[in-house]
Amino acid sequence: MRILYPIARGETCDRRPDRFKHCQSAHDPAGSVARRVLAMSRGLQLRWPVLLVVTTLVSALVSCSGTPKPIYFPGYPVGFVERGVASWYGPGFHGNKTANGERYDMHQLTAAHRTLPLGSIAVVRSMSTGRQVTVRINDRGPFARDRVLDLSLAGARALEMTGAGTDQIELRVVGYQGRASDMGALRVQVGSFSDQQNALNLLERMKQLYSGGRVQTVDLPEGRRYRVQVGRFSTESQAEAAASRLEAFLGLQAYVFRDDS
């Protein structure tokens, strides 16, 4: 195997082991980096096998330096891909308010996701059948940790998964659909309890980070619930940041929603 070595500026090429048989031009970044590596190796008295490894790594880094990094716009993560288990929710939630302030319509192509910006448009593909459907994220969920997406009844029917209840899917964000500005205040919910005292205890813990929290009482078909919430945030990014901070502090799952109450 022939080993190539760098030469210093102004020197000529020859076959000595401390010279680079292939001369690099003065403006060549790879040659410039390689010459610096040789100077360092002389000072440190590196052995030739070590120099070979270092030179190889430098070449790899130089070759990769021109590759642009992907750019993601805040609140507009086009190109984001996620794979996992999807479920669906239907008649028991029809008409309930979703996280962005809309009323859930099980006949519309919508879905719930834990973290994607509300209003994201995603193409959802069944890994088992290849069928796909385009949905808009307008709610938060699912809250089963082994699932990544909750589809509306219409979305589940499009993927032919209503019978099984769940399916392995791939979702890809392809766009964003904005909302009207008057759809309610942005808040963060950190817990929902059947026991009021548990909700009050969590509210006290939450006050260590944010004041102005509340316990909201709601009556659901399965019984009364006490929801611990905080904020009226000006922007979705502020609300998402608060949710992340509360999750880290409390060890609980938090999510952002719009509230017109």
pLDDT for the residue 71: 34
**Confidence label for 56 from pLDDT (cuts 50, 70 and 90):** low
Residue 228 · residue 191 · CB < 8 Å: yes
Q: In angstroms, rounded to a whole number, what is the distance separating the alpha carbons of residues 155 and 159?
A: 7
Report the mean per-residue pLDDT for the chain: 75
pLDDT for the residue 113: 95
Instruction: Give residue 3's Cα distance to chain centre.
Output: 44
**Within 13 Å and on the Cβ side, how many CA atoms surround 236?**
18
C-beta neighbour count of 216 within 10 angstroms: 15
**Confidence label for 49 from pLDDT (cuts 50, 70 and 90):** low
Q: Is the pTM for the entire model greater than 0.85?
A: no
Domain 81-176 architecture = Beta Barrel (2.40)
**Confidence label for 196 from pLDDT (cuts 50, 70 and 90):** very high
| Short-list 64, 36, 66, 41, CA closest to 52 | 41
In the predicted model, is pLDDT for residue 251 greater than 80? Answer: yes
pLDDT for the residue 22: 42
For the chain, the distance separating the N- and C-terminal CA atoms, rounded to the nearest angstrom, is 75
Question: Where are the domains positioned within the chain?
Answer: 1-69, 81-176, 185-259
* Greater pLDDT, 79 or 148: 148
Q: Residue 43: which H helix or E strand, with range?
A: helix 29-44
In the predicted model, is pLDDT for residue 33 greater than 60? Answer: no
Question: Any bridge partners for residue 123, and if so which?
Answer: 134, 172
In the predicted model, is pLDDT for residue 52 greater than 70? Answer: no
pLDDT for the residue 35: 53
pLDDT for the residue 131: 92
pLDDT for the residue 15: 40
pLDDT for the residue 36: 53
Q: In angstroms, rounded to a whole number, what is the distance separating the alpha carbons of residues 63 and 30?
A: 8
Domain 185-259 architecture = 2-Layer Sandwich (3.30)
* Greater pLDDT, 208 or 25: 208
Q: Residue 214: which H helix or E strand, with range?
A: strand 214-220
The string of pLDDT tens digits covering residues 140-176 is: 999 888 999 999 999 999 999 999 999 999 999 988 8
Equal fold, 81-176 vs 185-259: no
Low-confidence winner among 11-20, 79-88, 222-231 (lowest mean pLDDT): 11-20
In the predicted model, is pLDDT for residue 222 greater than 50? Answer: yes
* Interhelix angle 29-44/48-64, nearest 10 degrees: 150
pLDDT for the residue 29: 46
What percent of the chain clears pLDDT 90, i.e. is strictly above it? 39
Low-confidence winner among 31-45, 144-158, 194-208 (lowest mean pLDDT): 31-45
